Each structure stands twice: as structure tokens, then as C-alpha cells.
Structure 1
């Protein structure tokens, strides 16, 4: 489906969903897209209401071939899928939550509809974007993609398009796609996963990628770098240059980065610090430094604890901000 023919209905999706480690089939991904669509009014960077939620969908929207038995079979498998995330509490403590994406599925015989019951503990996973931000993408285009890998890379391209690309350890990408033990030969991984997804996105999507494998202190390929392209109004390929970001884009980026250290549901400190940096005319400098830190995080050179420690040090020692 060419991008020109796609009706643009934009969804936002928490980055903890975008980055999650799971392996869903094409139909299961389409179910997830419809669920995310129905949950749009509940997307928040504040407190998420923890309650069991029922979402009813049309069977024909999940599978255009209307193979209803196949949909039911995929739902059974989906109920066995688990998610994990960290739930931060008001007292500053955090809890690791393991939950299923779907608690129950109901379908009346002969009905054209199917209902999904989402457990209460899955709601922060699906709806909270305060700590890591969110990804926005076109719903109809995501649904139209034929490969489950194309769907995942479409989301990742949309997340990182404003930065022009990203680099990630190959091991981490395999874990994200749950391909740790599948396609062990790099040639098979490229032929079965990377190349078909790249080709499909470049042919039909509003964003796509080029990639390069590299060896970092290793004899074998262990990291992968993505260059992300967007299609402009004329249909031409363009790539975002992070160095040419506007003040507004830099401000938004710094706030999102500071959420890693100062979660939004605890306080408004990330915004207050960014306002102070902007007032002191340090926004450009801190934007560049945080970009480098995030690159180190993506490369695996630093972990989340390192980022928080270095961020606090930079703010205190270089900018006199606690």
C-alpha cells in the first residue's frame, strides 16, 4: 500500500511498549495496534488508573481475510505472552511487575466482535509514558505491513526519526525480537529479518531505515547502526540532522532525557531544570552532552544507573543545579 493512499490516523505508544522484549505474530501485533488505539484517551505521563479494562474489536479489523478461527487461535497464544516493567511508587520505591498482556478473551458464537480483558497491572505498561516518552506512528500503515519484523522496525524508526538514527548492541536487538537462538548465522539474520523489513518499509512506509553491522572490540558482528529516512511532502527521502534541531526540539529532548533521572510521576523537576538551563542559555550545550550520553547508553557503554549518576554530576558540578 503506497504511503500516499494511507489515511493518517496517528497513535502514540509508550516507549516501554516500543522497546519491549516480545515476539508477536502479525495478527497478534494487529490486535495490539487496535488495543493501543482504543486506549489513546488514557495515555498519560501522570498516574495510571489500575483497573481491569475490556476492549471490544471487530474481527474483520484484526484479519482482513476474516479467518475467525485463526484469530481465536492467535488470541489463545497471546494470553500466554508475558510483559515485565518497573512500577514506580509515590514513596520512591519501585516494583518489578510481571503480567500477561491479556487476561481473558470472549467471543459469542456467530458474533462479528471479540472482546479482550486487560488485567489491571498491564495498564501502566500500555498507558504510562512519563518516564521514557512515547512513539507516534500511523495506525493504518502499521496494520498494513505484512511482516511482524517490519511492524517492529516501523515503530523503532518512528521513535528515533528525529535523531536521524540510533545504534544498538546486536545482542540487545535480538533479545528485543526474542531471536536470541534463532538465525544464529549473521547472513541468515540479515536475509530473514533485516533485509525484508528494510525493503518493505522503503517501498510503502513514511519512514524506513538503512543499517550497518560493525565489530566493537570483537571478532564478530556485535552492534548495528540504523540511519532513518523520512518521506517529505514531495515524496523525497530526507534524514533528520540532530545538530540542526530547533530550540523547541532541543527543549523537548532535554526534558525527556531528564525523565530518566527525575521521573515525571515523582515531580516536575525535569521541566524545572530544563527551564533553568534554558534561562542560563545552556540548552545547546546540555543537549549535545545528553545526546552523547544517550549514544553511550544505546551502545551498551553505560547502563541506566550510570546515566543517572553522570546526569546528576553534570547538573551539580557544571551548572550548579541540584
Structure 2
């Protein structure tokens, strides 16, 4: 006897924090304004705890909150049809979900299923299962943004630029080649020979829209001869942090590498090696100090290149490990006893790193609370429960932070 499986409940409530893999942030695709709002609504229904892609129920009212058009329902129905044929050009990830050098690119269907329920005025949809590595259980190589900020943006291209800058929010700048940006925004033929049109119709509208968000920016045009080849976006580092919390979005080693000129993309390579246990954070700082001494003595001219080579090739590792294993470098008993309080937790995790993680979580939770209290996406039934749950999260994070002191 066959027993029918109980269907999974559809997700109807948005999460204030939206997260996606950086490979998706940099993927090449284009959408209409309505499609982008639908895409965002689906992203906002994915929880950080989800292990399967949820089936989402999104009302027409949520997709078109300000529309008075008599054709709004027909517009949504047509949008669903277009989304079913939408393809994303995504990087193929490494075995642990990491981005790789010179990745292969594959086209993935965006939707696994999408259905417009006319009588209910609801779209019921689920992402294609191939997108799971880009959306679920993300522990690294991801970017997060507050839904309340994303909802302020109307133009699809402005949305994509917001995410590109959000990925680099800790550094306060990002340089993108014009051709690369056109590819990411899905402009295959548009503006190929008319940068002045691209500036007027894409860059300037994005600058104006993002000025109303937590990520306002200016930009510089970089030229090769008379041709604009790249755009350098400039913005305040960690501008999303409305509170006075210390910077929690970037690791000290990454900031140190960035300051000596190591390329943005190269930081991901180092991050992957750290995560894989090829070396520890101390080796990064050892490399920086060693190469800096070589620069000062005139042995090395290009500091950033020498640092990156030492971190990727690991040729200084034997010396670093030998130095750390020498009797002079071994801590005495009193030092060992003090380490958990000052340098590492009992689990061997850096105290500074754990504190940054908790501060980042606290920032997110406070943003979530503000969103839940004011958003029209919650009603009298769902709002109290969401507020209570978020307040409990904040209290727990504050309690954990208290253990580390101010």
C-alpha cells in the first residue's frame, strides 16, 4: 500500500535578512522590475536554517503594492511565464561550495516550479534544486542585505549594483570592468559602444536610488586612452551598520592584506586556504611582516605580489612552523592558562573572531527587529510571534557578548 507523502508547507512570510552566494551576486542575468521584485520576495523566504528550498506563496499585493492598474493580475501571470524560462549564468563551485579560479560557467534554470493561482491572487513557486549550493546553508562566500533596504530600490540594474557593492561593503570600494559589469547586468548588446548612454541610463539612476539606502556611492571612471574601461565605486566601509558597533564584517587578516594592495578576489583564495586548514591566521601576519622587511631592505619591490605568492605557494610555511615549534616560542603553563581568556576559546576559536561573529549577528538581529515592527509584510497574527522570537535572539547574543567583555 502506497502512502502519500504529506506536502511541505508553503512559506508565506518574508525574512528581513536576505542572503545569497557571491557567485549568484556576480552571475549574469537581467530581469524586469516585476521579475526582480518576485525574485527578491522568493530570496527573502529562505531561512538560514533551511536545508531544502522552500515552496513560497507570494501575493499579488506584495508584488505590486502601489499598483492601481486593471491589468495587474494579467501582468503577474505573464511574469510567472517569463520566470519559468529564465536562465542564470552561474560559476561552477568547488567541492566545498567555494569559488574557484577561472571557473566554468553553466546556465541554470531559475525556477523549479511556478504557478499563478488566479482565485487566490497568489504565486506559488520554488527555486530550481540546482541552486541549492548558492542559496542554502551558506557559511562562507556569501553576501547579506536587509530586505528593508532592498525594497527601496526600483530599477533591476540598481538592485544588481547594490549587491555588487554590498559584497565589498567592508572595504569601501570596488572596481569593475565595464564589459564585466555589462555582462553581470545582462546587457549583451546594449551600450556596447555608447558609454555615455550607459552612464546616463544605468550608473546615474543607480547612484540616485542607492543614495536613499544604507549604501550610497560615488564613482570614478578609469580610462585606457580615451575609452572608459572600468568603474571604481566608492562608498563608506561597513555603511550598513547603523549602530555604533565595531566593524564585524571583515577579518583583521583580510583588512591587512587589502591595505597592502592584495586584490579583492585574491582574498577569497586565502580565505579558502584558511578554511581548509592549510595554515592558520598567524601565518598570514607572519608573511606580511616578513615581506615588509624584505621591501624595506630592497629585496622585494612589489609587496602585494610577494605576499600573495607566499600565501598561495606556502614557501614560508616551513620557517613559520619551525619558529612556532622552537622552545623559545612555546608558551609556559601560565601563558597556556591565560589563552582561553585572552586569545582563544576552549574550542580553539579566536576570541576576537568569535566576538566579531556575535557582533555581526547582533547587528542583523537588531535590523530584523526594526523591520518586523514596521513592515507591512507582517500582520496582527504573525508580527507578535516574530518580535518575540527576534528579541530572544538579541538577548541571547548580548549575553554571549557579555562573556567577552566590552
TM over 0.5: yes
Contact 2:162 2:210 in 1 (8 A): yes
1:113 corresponds, among 100, 119, 122, to 122
CA deviations over 1:181-237 (Å, ceiling 9, x no partner): 1123111111000011101211x1111211111123x44111111101337759xxx
2:252 corresponds, among 239, 243, 250, to 250
- Structure-2 change in CA distance of 1:137 and 1:263 (3 Å): same
Q: Which residue does 2:312 correspond to in 1? A: 312
1:199 corresponds, among 204, 208, 211, to 208
Distance 2:132 2:142 in 1: 15
Distance 1:286 1:35 in 2: 48
Q: Which residue does 1:143 correspond to in 2? A: 151
Distance 1:287 1:30 in 2: 48
Q: How does 1:228-247 map to 2 (within 5 A)?
A: 228-229=235-236, 230=239, 233=242
Runs of 5+ unmatched residues, structure 1: 1-7, 44-48, 235-243, 294-306
CA deviations over 1:38-74 (Å, ceiling 9, x no partner): 112347xxxxx6x675222222112214522212211
**1:97 Cα deviation (Å)?**
4.6
**1:162 Cα deviation (Å)?**
0.9
CA deviations over 1:65-96 (Å, ceiling 9, x no partner): 45222122112112211123314347x99986
Q: Name the SS for the 1:221 alignment partner.
A: strand
Mean Cα deviation higher: 223-232 or 31-40 = 223-232
Establish whether residue 27 from structure 1 lines up as the match of residue 27 from structure 2.
no
2:133 corresponds, among 124, 127, 131, to 124
Q: Which residue does 1:73 correspond to in 2? A: 78
Distance 1:150 1:58 in 2: 24
Q: Which residue does 2:57 correspond to in 1? A: 56
- Give the superposed CA RMSD: 3.9
CA deviations over 1:242-294 (Å, ceiling 9, x no partner): xx97897324667x966536758xx9425x6233426xx53865999xx957x
Establish whether residue 103 from structure 1 lines up as the match of residue 112 from structure 2.
yes
- Structure-2 change in CA distance of 1:232 and 1:260 (3 Å): closer
CA deviations over 1:145-166 (Å, ceiling 9, x no partner): 1211221122122211210101
**1:112 Cα deviation (Å)?**
2.9
2:216 corresponds, among 201, 205, 208, to 208
Q: Name the SS for the 1:199 alignment partner.
A: helix
Distance 1:107 1:70 in 2: 11
- Structure-2 change in CA distance of 1:276 and 1:208 (3 Å): same
Distance 1:284 1:247 in 2: 21
Contact 2:46 2:54 in 1 (8 A): no
Contact 1:10 1:138 in 2 (8 A): yes
**1:116 Cα deviation (Å)?**
0.8
For these two proteins, the number of residue pairs brought into alignment is 273
Q: Choose between structure 1 and 2: higher strand proportion.
A: 1
TM-score (norm 2): 0.57
Distance 2:291 2:148 in 1: 34
Q: Which residue does 2:195 correspond to in 1? A: 186
- Structure-2 change in CA distance of 1:227 and 1:285 (3 Å): farther
Q: Name the SS for the 1:277 alignment partner.
A: helix
Contact 1:97 1:121 in 2 (8 A): no
Distance 2:304 2:289 in 1: 11
**1:101 Cα deviation (Å)?**
0.6
Contact 1:53 1:119 in 2 (8 A): no
TM-score (norm 1): 0.70
Q: Which residue does 2:178 correspond to in 1? A: 170
Q: Which residue does 1:4 correspond to in 2? A: none
Distance 1:79 1:69 in 2: 16
Q: Name the SS for the 2:188 alignment partner.
A: coil
